[in-house]
């Protein structure tokens, strides 16, 4: 489902909602966080520290300070988890309001927070409906909002939060289409000008081993980066079958991880983490991408089961990004960088290393050891909220939303290449008027709601998914 009609080549690439956005920003203008390059030339000058590269000091707990009163918008599993991560981040923290469109999700969240975390939220601060976020933004006592709905709603909620002067935790991805990405970029810059803090859910930028590896790579430990690969390949993900009495919107909401306009497909919902790591370490955006994907065994929704996207960067640097959700297949979640002097082996399994091409160790992270003898490290789910509260209380704002927007757009670019079977350039995707989702957001029927899977090379098929 999309607000545009037929997504043919002309329609997809024709509209420019923000005139000259791509040309005006360019790769250098977009990648402003933790910049410093990855060239081996970096090793010839003074060594860059973590602080030089925009990485704040890691604390195990946020310091005490001003009360932080937060509202959770999106009370499902990830939203409830984010609320718990926030409450664990330090002292004097409170969840004071909830918003959702599904009463059972909000009730379950409220019960969890009450029974396990002593957070009793007043009934009058529990808002149900698509306008819940507006009511929350009008509450003057709230100085932080946790945005954890399906990502389709993220640009709208983020804009409202910035306009209301709220600090933000924003889950990944931050949009499902280029129109949403441009909105996030614009409001990210407004947040920065307003001195707000915006921390995002691309957790690896809050993992101590990933950040330490980034410092080494930025200082030339593996030389110039020549290529990369990144992968989120796992078994099947959860889904919901439509139940009697569910409207189109309720079904799409309860089954959101399988509906394109709600989730952006799993190349955004999951593989965005890996794409973000490569974007971060390379400090570049791709020139173009070709890709493929398809549907093999998924039982509901209209998204793909697998993707393989081949990105081309300046100087012929390449990146292969794959994503798969199919049972019985090999699993692989991690990133690989090939440099002129070595390689980076990056993963979420507490085993990050830099090696020469001959396999000799250049550098490895100094992990703590658990009682079982295995490497351990603080959860990035917790660390990102420690960093969030610390930034607010120390009056050292940090805004991560633009870097998340750029990484999300890299994922969108690959998704649309796989859906269409066509090569897509960075300028084309940045300036595209592609927008997913229904024109009217209501809990009820959606005109022409259909679960039609994209067919590469048959663009006219996609026009049937309009709203």
Q: Tens of pLDDT along 340-351?
A: 999 999 999 999
- pLDDT band at residue 38 using 50, 70 and 90 as cut-offs: low
Residue 44 has a pLDDT of: 66
Asked if residues 284 and 31 have their Cβ atoms less than 8 Å apart, the reply is yes
Question: At 23, is the pLDDT very low, low, confident or very high (cuts 50, 70, 90)?
Answer: very low
HSE-CB at 55 with a 13 A cutoff on CA atoms is 23
Residues in the chain: 467
Residues of the chain with CATH 3.30.360.10: 9-28+222-379+406-465
Using the predicted structure, report yes or no on whether residue 28 has a pLDDT greater than 90.
Answer: no
Distance between CA atoms of 282 and 224, rounded to whole angstroms?
A: 9
Assigned CATH class of 42-204+385-400:
alpha beta
Question: Residue 19: is its pLDDT beyond 80?
Answer: no
The fold for domain 9-28+222-379+406-465 equals Dihydrodipicolinate Reductase; domain 2 (3.30.360)
Rg (CA), the chain: 22
The whole-number pLDDT of residue 115 equals 96
Contact predicate 463/6, CB 8 Å: yes
- Model pLDDT, residue 45: 80
**Could you give the residue range(s) of every CATH 3.40.50.720 domain in the chain?**
42-204+385-400
Summarised one tens digit per residue, pLDDT across range 365-375 is 999 999 999 99
For residues 106-124, give the mean pLDDT.
Answer: 96
Residues 284 and 146: their CA atoms lie apart, in Å, by 29
Q: Is the pLDDT of residue 61 over 50?
A: yes
Q: What is the pTM of this model?
A: 0.92
Once rounded to an integer, what is the mean pLDDT over residues 147-175? 98
């Amino acid at each position: 489902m999309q607000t545009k009609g037929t997504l043919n080549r002309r329609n997809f690439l024709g509209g420019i909602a923000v005139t000259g956005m791509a040309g005006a920003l360019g790769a250098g203008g977009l990648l402003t966080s933790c910049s410093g390059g990855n060239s081996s030339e970096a090793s010839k000058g003074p060594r860059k520290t973590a602080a030089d590269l925009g990485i704040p000091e890691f604390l195990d707990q946020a310091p005490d300070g001003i009360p932080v009163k937060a509202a959770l918008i999106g009370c499902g599993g990830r939203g409830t988890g984010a609320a718990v991560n926030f409450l664990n981040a330090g002292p004097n923290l409170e969840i004071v309001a909830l918003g959702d469109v599904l009463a059972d999700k909000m009730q379950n969240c409220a019960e969890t927070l009450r029974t396990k975390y002593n957070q009793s939220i007043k009934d009058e601060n529990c808002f149900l409906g698509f306008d819940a976020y507006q009511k929350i933004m009008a509450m003057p006592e709230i100085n932080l909002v946790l945005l954890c709905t399906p990502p389709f709603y993220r640009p709208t909620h983020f804009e409202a939060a910035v306009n209301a002067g709220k600090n933000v935790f924003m889950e990944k991805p931050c949009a499902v289409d280029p129109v949403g990405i441009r909105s996030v970029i614009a409001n990210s810059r407004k947040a920065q000008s307003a001195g707000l803090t915006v921390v995002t859910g691309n957790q690896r930028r809050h993992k101590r081993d990933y950040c330490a590896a980034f410092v080494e790579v930025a200082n030339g430990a593996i030389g110039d980066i020549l290529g990369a690969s990144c992968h989120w390949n796992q078994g099947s993900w959860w889904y919901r079958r439509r139940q009697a009495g569910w409207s189109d919107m309720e079904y799409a909401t309860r089954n959101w991880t399988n509906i394109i306009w709600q989730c952006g497909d799993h190349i955004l919902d999951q593989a965005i983490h890996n794409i973000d790591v490569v974007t971060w370490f390379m400090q570049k955006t791709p020139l173009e991408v070709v890709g493929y994907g398809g549907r093999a065994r998924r039982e509901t929704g209209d998204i793909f089961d697998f993707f393989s996207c081949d990105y081309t960067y300046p100087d012929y640097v390449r990146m292969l990004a794959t994503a798969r959700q199919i049972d019985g297949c090999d699993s692989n979640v991690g990133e690989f960088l090939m440099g002129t002097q070595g390689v980076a082996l990056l993963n979420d399994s507490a085993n990050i290393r830099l090696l020469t091409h001959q396999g000799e160790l250049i550098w490895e992270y100094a992990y703590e050891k658990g009682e079982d003898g295995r490497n351990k490290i603080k959860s990035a789910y917790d660390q990102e909220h420690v960093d969030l509260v610390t930034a607010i209380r120390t009056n050292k704002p940090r805004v991560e939303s633009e870097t998340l927007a750029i990484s999300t757009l890299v994922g969108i670019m690959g998704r649309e290449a796989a859906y269409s079977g066509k090569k897509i350039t960075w300028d084309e995707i940045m300036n595209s008027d592609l927008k997913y989702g229904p024109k009217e957001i209501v809990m009820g029927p959606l005109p022409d709601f259909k679960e039609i899977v994209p067919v590469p090379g048959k663009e006219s098929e996609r026009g049937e998914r309009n709203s």
